[in-house]
Amino acid sequence: MKKLSNTFIKYFVISLFLLMNINSIAQIDLFTKNDIAVVKEDSIEINKVIELSQLNKEIEYTDNLITKFDISSSQVNRNRDLIKHSDTVNKYIQKQGQEFFEFDMEHLSHYFLVNANYTWMRYYHELRNFQDNIQSQIRSIQTSQNVFVNNVSKWEKNLPNLNKSISNHIRYRVQNNINTSKKIIKEYDKELKSLIEIENDIINDIVYVERILSTIEHYTKLKRAKIFTKTDPSIFSLDYKDSFSGSIRGRIKLAYYENTKTFGYFFRKIEENFYAYALFIILLSVSLFILRRKYLKLGYDESNVGYKSIYRIFISKFYYIILAFAILSWTIIIPFTPLFINSILYLSILILILIIMSDVFDNLSKRITLIILILLIINNLELFAWYFGDYARLYLLLESSIAIGFIIPFVINSVKKDGIKNPNKTIGTYFNRATIFILILFIIAFIANIFGTLNLAIYILSFSAKFGSITIISYSFAKIFKNILQATLDVLYPKYPDLINNHGAKIIKKANSVINIIVVIAWGSGILQISEILTYMDAQFMEIFTAGISIGEFSFTFGSILLFVSIIYITLGLNKFIKNILEREVMVKKEMKRGSAAAISLTARILITFFGFTLALSATGIDMTRISIIAGALSVGIGFGLQNIVSNFVSGLILIYERPLQEGDTVEVGSLLGRVTNIGIRASNISTYDGAEVVVPNTNLVSNELINWTLSDKKKRQKVNIGVKYGTDPNLILKLLSEVCEEHPKILPSPAPLALFVGFGDSSLDFKVLFWVSFEDGLQTKSDINVAICNVLAEHNIEIPFPQVDLHVKDILGKEDESAEEAEIMAIEAKAIKKEKTATKEPKSAKALDLDGDGDGDGE
């Protein structure tokens, strides 16, 4: 947590510094809307005085405006198409609305209401998009019209002053341009009126659609409120014969028409999204195809980790996976697909899952998936049953009976095998409990249908059938994604072995966690949707996330705070990924200049940080104008309180881009010797050989003398001095020293080792051997060479002499006996003098101790 906090503070300072430089004195506001600037520009243009020197240039400008104006065929035809399209949409909406209100609202099925809500929401969004398109054209025409209005005003204001100085020909030309411009302005007015009329019709359609949506919402809430209420008679008291009118064939046609009548309109409206969908599927298919081909080239077998699962799912069922991805992507990318088509798509996905996972699922899982598929088909066919009146109740009874018949054997087997209360918390245990729970739900639906609690029975049958399908689909896609991830890492391993070895397990763990989180969120969202809790809670959630909080003049929402935190988290995650993976593992494998990877990495991280931080601030709704003003004020404070920070920041950039040192270099700064472990924005870390981690401000590395032992290469010269006794053959010594160096594997052959006879020492013949090694191997290699030299000298009985000093005593008198006698006399005299000094300084006591037994008591 502390590391994350420090990282956030560091990148916050970087972003703030960039903001300061962009808005250094806050005189130019880059974040202000253009409206004020446009108004100022228009007022300047109107009040502009036309000088005679600029007269012809202004006339040319007006002529070009008139020439570029094209309101004739293209614009008129476009507006006619809009009017025609508006009329078509209006008639279609009115027709669909009339058919909707012809139904008996009190007896509409739940499926019908859901499908109707889905359809009319699609109409609503399309009308809103149509309205936005019209408003965009209105704004565009207004902008073009304002250009002519301002130009005419400018000429009318300046023409009286110019009349005296221009010829009649020029005056006529100017007046003609003014008249033509006024006609163009009137044409623009006509187009604006036409577009406003079209927008008005669209708004009427929107109001009509909103009325229908309100009606659908009302009856949906009514059914939800009566879910535990008996709304229909019991199944035994129904009159089935008179419950519907017309023939069976006619009712089937009606059901088919009601559920497919919007297909043509839908497929005509998906063109824009369809191109994005097709492009996505093509890119996905090509990427997975290349991944599969490269994986097969590796020649893996069952001895490799994960091969069996990858082969069973991703390799052997590849084309089924592509088809499953295509169908699932359709449901995500193509909005408001008709509910009937969606039902078919989900059934198709479930069938594909059964094929894809056939070699992975055991027999029990296959049976469960097949049963879920059958129950889902039966539940989807329920939409036709509601067109046959009370016979639909019998269909519900059949549906719940089939479900109970399928599930009871599973429950009996699980109870016999594990008992009702199994203390072991395994997947099988949870599955058994879920099976019992689903069985109870189907029994409740069966009973509720019999006694007339119809809303509850419909709700349970729909929820139970779709619950199983969503669970199977979510689990299977999670399994597919994880196999694709493992296959990707296997393919990358030959090219980036260090990356996979160092970070492979961590990547898989984090990626699997992300996959699990996404799948759980998707699964939970699907469960909430089929349970209709999501629809019910949608407004409440939106209210929570859009609720405003004000602190002084600042206001923000919970949603904006969540978005801010998410953007910052993603930004820091991207920076960490670029630093640890791309820079240190991927880029180092490329043939790049030394230090280029760090420079590219830092540049990318600074840009990502700046834009991420700016985007996060914008997401909170904070006025960026205020931020720019604050940044401008802080830029003044840099000169006082933040000099060192900015200096270190700039020095960090110099270190990155000039590259006098890199991570891993061995440097010497003053008395500090160690290896660079990190080059930061403010400071760099140097790890000494004593184990200390020293934080050095970047300014010290740039301003002071820096010795980089590994800047151009990682070679270092080592030196060993040796001395042998006089009389030894120097040629032999040179030969032995050269052989010792040549035999050592870590000594570099170039430059070659060099043995030298240095000179004649006081007690030895002095030699020196020079050799080059890798910097990391220097100390150990020097130790090995010392040992080897010692051994080879011992083998050849060559001595390494001790330092010797010969002391010569000069005979001054020339006679040894006289010298001895003189020395004895001098010793006696010295003893006598010492006795006298002792007697003077320390008088004897009455009874002195005679320690030496000579009777004088002096102890000597």
Q: What is the pLDDT of residue 377?
A: 92
Q: What's the burial of 585, exposed, middle or buried (CB within 10 Å: 0-12/13-18/19+)?
A: middle
In the chain, where are the structural domains located? 2-12+558-708, 45-225, 248-539, 715-795, 819-860
- Which residue carries 């070009």 as its tokens? 64
Q: Using 50, 70 and 90 to split pLDDT, how confident is the model at 10? A: low
Asked whether the predicted pLDDT for residue 500 surpasses 60, the reply is: yes
The phi, psi pair for 461, rounded to 5°, reads -60, -45
Asked whether the predicted pLDDT for residue 842 surpasses 50, the reply is: no
Q: What is the pLDDT of residue 21?
A: 46
Exposure string of 190-225, with b = 16+ CB inside 10 Å and e = fewer, is ebeeebeebbebbeebbebbeebbebbeebbeebee
Query: What pLDDT, in 10s, does the model give residues 662-705?
Result: 777 888 888 888 888 888 777 888 888 888 888 888 888 888 88
* 504 token code pair: 């492979």
> How many beta carbons lie within 10 A of that of residue 846, not counting itself?
4
Q: What is the pLDDT of residue 317?
A: 92
Evaluate whether 671 touches 683 at the Cβ level (below 8 Å): no
Query: What pLDDT, in 10s, does the model give residues 38-96?
Result: 444 455 555 667 777 788 888 888 888 888 775 444 565 666 777 777 888 888 888 88
Partners of 72 in the β-ladder: none
**How far is C-alpha 817 from the chain's CA centre?**
102
CA–CA distance from 619 to each of 9, 556, 605 (Å)?
A: 19, 9, 20
* 373 token code pair: 């598929």
* 797 token code pair: 């009985």
- The more confident residue out of 853 and 383 is 383
Query: What pLDDT, in 10s, does the model give residues 308-360?
Result: 888 888 889 999 999 999 999 998 888 888 888 888 999 999 999 999 998 88
For the chain, helix (H) and strand (E) counts, in that order, are 27, 10
Q: What is the pLDDT of residue 39?
A: 43
Question: Percent of the chain, pLDDT > 70?
Answer: 77
End-to-end CA distance of the chain: 81
Query: What pLDDT, in 10s, does the model give residues 145-171?
Result: 888 888 888 888 888 887 777 888 888
Q: Using 50, 70 and 90 to split pLDDT, how confident is the model at 845? A: very low
Q: What is the pLDDT of residue 206?
A: 92
How, if at all, do strands 683-688 and 672-679 pair?
Answer: antiparallel
Q: What is the pLDDT of residue 817?
A: 52
| Alpha helices, DSSP H, located in 357-390 | 363-380, 382-385
pTM above 0.85, yes or no: no
Q: What is the pLDDT of residue 290?
A: 94
Evaluate whether 395 touches 352 at the Cβ level (below 8 Å): no
Asked whether the predicted pLDDT for residue 406 surpasses 50, the reply is: yes
Mean of the per-residue pLDDT values of the chain: 79
Q: What is the pLDDT of residue 575?
A: 82
644-650 average pLDDT score: 76
Helix axes 454-492, 363-380, angle to 10 degrees: 130
Asked whether the predicted pLDDT for residue 631 surpasses 60, the reply is: yes
Query: What pLDDT, in 10s, does the model give residues 414-452?
Result: 776 655 555 555 555 667 777 888 889 999 999 999 998
Q: Using 50, 70 and 90 to split pLDDT, how confident is the model at 647? A: confident
Q: What is the pLDDT of residue 98?
A: 87
107-123 average pLDDT score: 82
How, if at all, do strands 715-724 and 693-697 pair?
Answer: unpaired
Q: What is the pLDDT of residue 827?
A: 59
Asked whether the predicted pLDDT for residue 488 surpasses 80, the reply is: yes
Asked whether the predicted pLDDT for residue 7 surpasses 60, the reply is: no
Evaluate whether 709 touches 667 at the Cβ level (below 8 Å): yes
> How many beta carbons lie within 10 A of that of residue 458, not counting itself?
23
Q: What is the pLDDT of residue 45?
A: 55
715-795, what's its fold? Answer: Alpha-Beta Plaits (3.30.70)
Q: Using 50, 70 and 90 to split pLDDT, how confident is the model at 300? A: confident
Mean pLDDT is lowest, of 277-291, 346-360, 625-639, 648-662, for 625-639
CA–CA distance from 367 to each of 309, 314, 401, 407 (Å)?
A: 20, 22, 18, 11
Give the DSSP H/E element, type plus range, for residue 160. Answer: helix 110-162
Evaluate whether 239 touches 132 at the Cβ level (below 8 Å): no
Asked whether the predicted pLDDT for residue 849 surpasses 90, the reply is: no
DSSP 443-508: HHHHHHHHHT-HHHHHHHHHHHHHHHHHHHHHHHHHHHHHHHHHHHHHHHTTT-HHHHHHHHHHHH
Separation CA 737–CA 264 (nearest Å):
93
The phi, psi pair for 797, rounded to 5°, reads 55, 40
Q: Please tell me whether the peptide bond between 751 and the residue prior to it is cis, using omega within 30 degrees of 0.
A: yes
How, if at all, do strands 666-669 and 754-760 pair?
Answer: unpaired
Q: What is the pLDDT of residue 5?
A: 46
491-510 average pLDDT score: 84
Give the DSSP H/E element, type plus range, for residue 722. Answer: strand 715-724
CA–CA distance from 343 to each of 71, 269, 349, 466 (Å)?
A: 48, 20, 10, 10
Helix axes 624-638, 596-619, angle to 10 degrees: 130
Q: What is the pLDDT of residue 326?
A: 94
Q: What is the pLDDT of residue 349?
A: 94
Separation CA 587–CA 290 (nearest Å):
23
Give the DSSP H/E element, type plus range, for residue 716. Answer: strand 715-724
Query: What pLDDT, in 10s, does the model give residues 256-271?
Result: 888 888 787 788 777 7
Long-range contacts of 108-113 (CB under 8 A, 24+ apart): 108/219, 109/383, 109/386, 109/392, 109/458, 110/223, 110/455, 110/458, 110/459, 110/462, 111/339, 111/382, 111/383, 111/386, 111/458, 111/462, 112/258, 112/383, 112/386, 113/216, 113/219, 113/220, 113/223
Mean pLDDT is lowest, of 520-529, 783-792, 851-860, for 851-860
Asked whether the predicted pLDDT for residue 463 surpasses 50, the reply is: yes
Query: What pLDDT, in 10s, does the model give residues 655-673?
Result: 777 778 877 788 888 888 8
Evaluate the CA torsion angle 635, 639, 645, 649 in order and state its sign: positive
Q: What is the pLDDT of residue 566?
A: 84
Query: What pLDDT, in 10s, does the model give residues 771-819?
Result: 999 888 888 889 999 999 999 988 888 888 877 666 666 655 455 555 5
